[in-house]
Amino acid sequence: MVPERLRPILAQTRPLADRFGAAGYRIYLVGGIVRDLLEGIEIGDTTDIDLTTDARPEQTRKLVAGWADAVWTQGQRFGTIGCRKDGRDFEITTHRAEAYWPDSRKPSVAFADVVEADLARRDFTVNAMALRLGADGDDPELIDPFGGAADLAARVLRTPLSPTESFSDDPLRMMRAARFVARYGLVPEPDLLEAIASMGDRLSIVSAERVRDELDKLLVVPDPSPGLWLLVDTDLVDHFLPELSAMRLEQDPVHRHKDVLSHTIAVVAKTRPDRIVRLAALLHDVGKPRTRAIGPDGVSFHHHEVVGARMARDRMRALRYANHDVDAVTRLVYLHLRFHTYQMGWTDSAVRRFVRDAGSLLPELIELTRCDCTTRNERKARQLKARMDELEGRIAELASQEELAALRPDLDGRQIMEHLGIGPGREVGQALDFLLELRLEEGPLGPDEAYRRLDAWWGRTH
């Protein structure tokens, strides 16, 4: 009896099963979709479907050509043919075994004839299951040579082969283990953790882009904390984000300041699963180890937001993040203490500057600021929440009166040049800066008052 949750996927893949079966080949659902179907996780209408087959890529391409709405062959040399049917993407890959050579960043691919050989080279047993699609209406058959279904039920994370062999095939799997621990609540076997701890240097052959993408995937699971702790406890994080473990500062027995790493991971877990917010949460205190000082008044981290912004920028660039991601996270790290520089009773000028400096990242900055409070002191937590509520209230109040989302001088460059009779140049920029400062301090002036103030400034400076 086919479970009801399988029927939609089987209906969509039946034409493929029939085509491949008629040509003498077998085709299987494979990977995460099989795991999620066993877990009862809903498969979305746009979820990509991964399949594997004993047909070679050229044969696969011919078999889908008359059925799919579109076909792409960029991955053909690695055994993969992609296609789209009725808005759903399919990737069909010839059974394969792939491994990294000791000093290579690129996998060596060898094709196989049986699905068990393909499954043996998968990352974890919970992903090393396949569902053979029956042709001519036959029921599907679960292929599970490594006990993945039992491991999924027992919440165990294992590799199909030995962890050493699995992680040698693709070292990025060590990072992926952290994501599976966090996402699915799986408990890694001791030999898996030992392999990660002893093989961390193998991560150096993996491209920075793949490492970055795997870190992003971990950060957006509902609670990344268990995965982040795995990366730290096995020292794997030292091979791509050494600044994180550096935050595990020794406790000061006199002043009893918080462990910065524990605080950081707690902040990440509190923020919404948005990639940019969580990257900023992960890096917001990265400058503390370099600025830590113990004086008569206790532990201090003066200007750690400035140092941290530079460190965040450098690390993100090393991980090949896009420039707009680097700029966004760096700005959030730099601004994350701005809220604490103000006391109760925000002036209009302070609110405008806060909004101006945050720009389009205002929601993310407010989210990070709120979640940065991890104190167990209820009184202090209530006070911080009240101050944040007041700030948001003041922003909303001013936004209803002024165009806070577009804080600009009351005059533009063209108006300034025409009024002063000057051409483009440094003086126009200086005049714009002067008028913007007035806008921040006093709010909208109106054109007449802006021209009057511009004339007075021009007279003083020329």
> What are 164-222's pLDDT values in tens digits?
999 998 999 999 999 999 999 999 999 999 999 999 999 999 999 999 999 999 999 99
pLDDT at 252: 43
pLDDT at 339: 86
Burial of 234 (C-beta count, 10 Å sphere; 0-12/13-18/19+): buried
At 220 the pLDDT is 97
Say which residue the tokens 């990257």 belong to.
279
For 75, how many CA atoms within 13 A lie in the half-sphere containing its CB? 15
* CA–CA–CA angle 190, 209, 176 (5° rounding): 20
Q: What is the pLDDT along the chain (462 residues), one digit of tens a residue?
A: 567 778 888 889 999 999 999 999 999 999 899 999 998 888 877 678 999 999 999 999 999 998 999 999 999 988 999 999 999 999 999 998 765 555 655 656 789 999 999 999 999 999 999 999 987 767 899 999 999 999 999 999 999 999 999 999 899 999 999 999 999 999 999 999 999 999 999 999 999 999 999 999 999 999 999 999 999 999 999 999 999 999 986 444 433 445 889 999 999 999 999 999 999 999 999 999 888 877 777 766 778 989 999 999 999 999 999 999 999 999 999 999 888 876 656 788 888 888 888 888 999 999 999 999 877 677 878 888 888 888 888 888 777 666 655 567 888 888 888 888 888 888 888 888 888 888 777 787 888 888 888 888 888 888
> What pLDDT sits at residue 436?
83
User: What is the pLDDT, as a whole number, of residue 106?
Assistant: 61
Cα–Cα distances in angstroms (integers) from residue 16 to residues 8, 53, 112, 180, 446, in the given order: 14, 11, 20, 30, 68
Q: How far is CA 365 from CA 56, 277, 278, 349, 370, in A?
A: 51, 8, 11, 18, 9
**CB–CB of 231/237 below 8 Å?**
yes
**Closest among 152, 161, 148, 129 to 28, alpha carbons compared:** 129
Distance CA 221, CA 223 (A): 6
Amino acid at 421: G
Cα–Cα dist 324/462, whole Å: 39
Q: Are 131 and 29 in contact (CB under 8 A)?
A: yes
Q: Is residue 207 classed as helix, strand or coil in its secondary structure?
A: coil
| Of 325, 227, 212, the residue nearest 277 (C-alpha) | 325
What DSSP string runs through 29-80?
Answer: EETHHHHHHHHT----TT--EEEEESS-HHHHHHHHHTT-SEEE-TTGGGTE
Number of other residues whose CB lies within 10 A of the CB of residue 263: 18
Answer yes or no: are the C-beta atoms of 128 and 119 closer than 8 Å. Answer: yes
Residue 441 C-beta-side C-alpha neighbours within 13 Å: 6
Q: What is the pLDDT of residue 254?
A: 37
Token representation of residue 109: 């691919």
Residue 255: what pLDDT?
36
3-class SS letters over 129-187? CEEECCHHHCCCEEECCCCHHHHHHHCEECCCCCHHHHHHHCCCHHHHHHHHHHHHCCE
What integer pLDDT is reported at residue 120 of this predicted model? 94
Instruction: Name the residue among 393, 322, 316, 331 with its Cα closest to residue 365.
Output: 331
pLDDT confidence of residue 396: 82
